[in-house]
A and B are shown apart, each in its own frame.
Chain A
Amino acid sequence: MLRRVVTVILVLACAGGVIAYQATRRGKAPANPRVFVPSPTFFLDFSPSFRTSIADAYYLYMIQYYGEHVSGDGRLDSLPAMTRLVTTLSPHFTRAYLFSAFGLIDAGRPDVAYEILQKGFKANPGEWRFPAYLAFFIYTFGEKGPVKNELAADWYQKAAAIPGSPSYLPRLAARLLVKTGEREKAILMWGQAYLAGDKYARKKSVNGIRSVLPEGREASLKVLAPLSDTMPEADFKALLADLFPEGKL
């Protein structure tokens, strides 16, 4: 009986010691922003059947790494390497590119974010979000000047041309094209927005086109002429009616 009691006490004391030891450990020290990220080639060579699983595991690690540093030292030195690893192992993992791009913006590296989005678009040409975010990043973080607007408008045009893209993209492209002096292209974009959009989008498109039309009937029709090739006749007539409601034409 005594032996049993002693054994129980000993085991309980040991368990208490284990818990006490763990409970009194200090919290994790701030992690190093530079972590080892293996080469994607290593995984491609040694476990091709599990490449997407490894990509997913690293994606989860990437999120933890971002969360750990973004509110701390703000340094995300290894994020580009992690993204390269994840997206090389799983090139169609859209969210990995987008997450990393926005993460790098937080880390003050829009240049790398731009590269990552370009890589994503190259691997996924049917995904409109890549060119749309490329345009957004250029417009928001690019150096001031006309080139910025031209580049952003170009990416918005590419995004708008992808089937399934939202109807506001051509309007954004058109606005930037006006800023760069590309009136004809802007009108074509508004025409696209008019075709794809709802009542609100149509009204916006009509206002946009109206704002760049020259004075006079002949001149206006001349500017609008290329639009007739890009949209059905009925829609073109409807657009003309919206543009000139009082039969001014």
Chain B
Amino acid sequence: MRQLAAIAANTFKETIRDRVLAVIVVFALVMIAGGLWLGAISLGEQGRMMKDFGLVAVTGFGLIVAVFIAASLVHKEVDKRTVFVLFSKPVSRAAFITGKFLGLCGTMAVVLAGMGLFLFALVWLLQGSPSFMVLAAVLMIYVQLLAIIAVTIFFSTLGSAILASVLGICVFVAGQLSHNVLALTRLGSNTVTEALSWVIYVLIPNLTAVDVKAGVVGEQTLAWGQISLWVVYLLAYVVVVLALATVIFRRKEF
């Protein structure tokens, strides 16, 4: 447990020093410029536009940070040969993978909290009243990104960092189309393709089960029971993917 905490803490320090917080500054500048621009062209819907596009930006920036850092986490240790020092000590492969994941979770929490709070303040300033739903939505985006981080770490144990980044982004996009794969399982009469579609449907994280952004802009009422279930599903998904990553990483010879 102490080893896990140490690896997580070190990963957090290492990634936070990676000038990753600059993303928040870039996000803030983009949002301010976007807010001014939207105010001029949206006919009084500045608040709605700011919330909606702001959350898209949080997802986009968050995804880039998550995928690119997660993809390089394991490879950096191998390339710098620090992994030899680490595994010469009583550190399990599972603790290594989990620690790396938890460390990056901490970094992502800081990054998303920064962007989320800035967006919240900006919306408050524009609308004149606080919109706590924005913070709830950022939290949901964070949970989505945890699944993507886990998947990217899994891919990074299989191949190169670039490949892991690309595959991580692909899984995010596929997660947005999860319901289409489900529709495929119900089409046609070929049992093999139906079964294959179903397997893919289960393998891809379902990122569209809850549409938080629509709730934030008042398009639908959010069912908190459904959201909680979805969060539990994504966390369970993370556990499974990390377990698979550990199994593959255990087979690696250094």
* A residues lining the B interface (CB < 8 Å): 45-53, 56, 59-60, 63-64, 90-93, 95, 99
Contact = CB atoms under 8 A, between A and B. Distances in A.
Given A52-B52, A56-B48, A56-B53, A90 B219 contact: yes
B138 to A, nearest CB: 14
B208 interface: yes
B14 interface: no
A95 B47 CA distance: 13
Nearest to B180: A45
Contacts of B180: 45-46
A93 B81 CA distance: 56
A59 B42 contact: yes
Q: Shortest 10 CB-CB distances between A and B: which pairs?
A: A56-B52, A49-B208, A53-B56, A52-B214, A53-B52, A52-B217, A48-B208, A92-B219, A52-B213, A52-B219
B41 A92 contact: no
A49 B213 contact: yes
B77 interface: no
A47 B208 CA distance: 9
Contacts, number: 58
A51 B219 CA distance: 10
Interface string B25-61: 0000000000000100111110011001101100000
B179 A63 contact: no
Interface-central residue, A51, A53, A64, A91, by most chain B CB under 10 Å: A53
A59 B43 CA distance: 10
Contact of A60 (B42, B214, B218): B42
B177 interface: yes
B207 interface: yes
A76 to B, nearest CB: 16
B176 interface: yes
A64 B40 CA distance: 11
Contacts of B179: 48
B43 A56 contact: no
A60 B49 contact: yes
Interface in B70-93: none
A51 B214 contact: yes
Given A45-B180, A47-B176, A59 B217 contact: no
A99 B45 CA distance: 12
A224 B211 CA distance: 53
Nearest to B215: A52
Nearest to A47: B176
B42 A49 contact: no
Given A53-B213, A95-B43, 6 more contacts: A52-B217, A59-B42, A59-B45, A63-B42, A92-B219, A93-B219
A60 B53 CA distance: 12
Contact of B43 (A47, A52, A90, A99): A99
